[in-house]
Amino acid sequence: MAKVIVSVKRVVDYNVKVRVKSDGTGVDVANVKMSMNPFDEIAVEEAVRLKEAGLVTEVIAVSAGVAQAQETLRMALAIGADRAILIESGEELQPLAVAKLLKALVDKEQPQLIILGKQAIDDDSNQTGQMLAALANLPQATFASKLVIADSKATVSREVDGGAETLTVTLPAVVTTDLRLNEPRYVTLPNMMKAKKKPLETVKPEDLGVEVTPRLKTLKITEPRKRSAGVMVQDVKALVEKLNTEAKVL
């Protein structure tokens, strides 16, 4: 298998307490730590492991977003990706636009496998991988907890509501990663230094012939209501009484 494209997104770090802007127009990201989306980090790790196993010759990391997303791509290069492509845009890139951008790169690079995180922790859309598969007319296997490549096929184990499911898809294909697929490696300082010398190409959406104007408009964002403190009860009788008189669920 020749190439693998793996997509990564720059998001607010998962350890940061997200705050909504005072005018309700979005999330405040000023002076906030940004990191690679955790599901995408798993995707990069899996692609690099495939290369280390001799199943892949090249891993290409791709991100779409602002210029600062170069930092996220450098992290992917430090994990082990060979080169990176940034599709630079100041627009709000919604899942369909990202899928179209990735499809344009798939047409150009002709990879045998495209690996994405199943969702981003900022918008939680869980749409881009599925949309890409539809646009590129490729088979897809989502929420992968195990991935085996052999004989030009990908066998994917995935968790579903009723238990576990195993799919076999013919390559080229789109795979999205779940948390149990692997544990990403610790990135060392020497690898971070090596990543600075790896090629990172920047293109614009118009270079790929893709229109990225948002189709959805966010009207307002509000923080969830604060939860009231829990209380301890002495016995089952007291619990039932509170459920009946206070919670009014009985």
pLDDT digits (tens, 9 = 90+) for 161-170: 888 899 999 9
- Which amino acid appears at position 230 of this protein? G
pLDDT tier for residue 26 given thresholds of 50, 70 and 90: confident
In this predicted structure, the answer to whether residue 2 has a pLDDT above a threshold of 90 is: no
Question: Residue 135, class by beta-carbon neighbours within 10 Å (0-12 exposed, 13-18 middle, 19+ buried)?
Answer: middle
pLDDT reported for residue 163: 86
pLDDT tier for residue 22 given thresholds of 50, 70 and 90: confident
Q: Which domains does the chain have, with CATH numbers?
A: 3-224 (3.40.50.620)
pLDDT reported for residue 172: 95
Which H or E run includes 39? helix 38-52
pLDDT tier for residue 219 given thresholds of 50, 70 and 90: confident
134: which 2 tokens? 């539809």
pLDDT reported for residue 232: 85
Among left, alpha and beta (phi > 0; psi -120 to 50; other), residue 137 is left
pLDDT (tens digit per residue) in 128-152: 999 999 999 999 999 999 999 999 9
Other CB atoms within 10 A of residue 106 CB: 20
Q: How far apart are the first and last CA of the chain?
A: 59
